Structure 1
Amino acid sequence: MEIHDREVMRKITLVLFSFLMMACSQLIDQPKNLVPKDTMSELLADFAINEQLNMVVENTNLDNATRYTLQQKKIKGNDFVESYKYYTATGDIEKIIDNAQDIVLNKDPKAKIYIEKKLKENKNLPAFAR
């Protein structure tokens, strides 16, 4: 394929993807108790930290840790789930997850080195994740 053909295909793909994203965002209504994006990032960061704690301390009850985290932020479990679905449908979840990763890295800067090492080791991840 020539460079021009690739550019045209890329633009067509981008337009189709944009239409798909708009269609998805219209298929799901905004939840009544939508959790703000920054709070979603904080929750996801806390959930990730809890998950790591479970690997270090055996018999940690992740359900209790999740409930406690939600309770601290005064968020109902159903509101979190509905907000997560909404942000996934609108395409905002990727930025929320990126912000959650930044929160984790700010809490533990050594984690960045560990994450980069694991990403290099895992050949199954898509190129954009590495």
Structure 2
Amino acid sequence: MRLDSVHLSMLVIGVSFACYSPSLNSLQDQVYKSAVVIEGKVQYTPVNVSAEPYRVNVKVLDVWPLNSGGLEREQLVTVGEFGSEAPCTKVKKNHKYIFFMDPTDEPLVFKASFAPRDTSVKNLKKDVGKILCEDCGKLM
């Protein structure tokens, strides 16, 4: 009987820590570990998150050449497979985010490498641009 309460308490602890922000990865790490990085505006979010896989439709607003994945502005892509972050990754329709993604076998469907970051955070887009700058090290 004692063993059951230990397992239950471990389960409760696991659930309570499940939605903490993955802040261990710096922005630079997230950018470098993702094949594709875009700024996008969420066009669609699932109605029933628990009943269907968490996938969102995103309109591409901006891409950086080093991590564009061949995407262009105005394209509509699907971002999903948020993995263990899915219950915590709630994006809002018509809001802008930086998405960190990896390609899948399906065209225009991407797997989230990390939770998206809200672009309302001051200087976020500028910081991503600095990390992905092609010509930053070149002097004239």
TM range (shorter): under 0.3
Higher relative contact order (CA 8 A, sep 6+): 1
TM-score by length of 2: 0.24
Higher strand share goes to which structure? Answer: 2
Greater CA radius of gyration, 1 or 2? Answer: 1
Higher helix share goes to which structure? Answer: 1
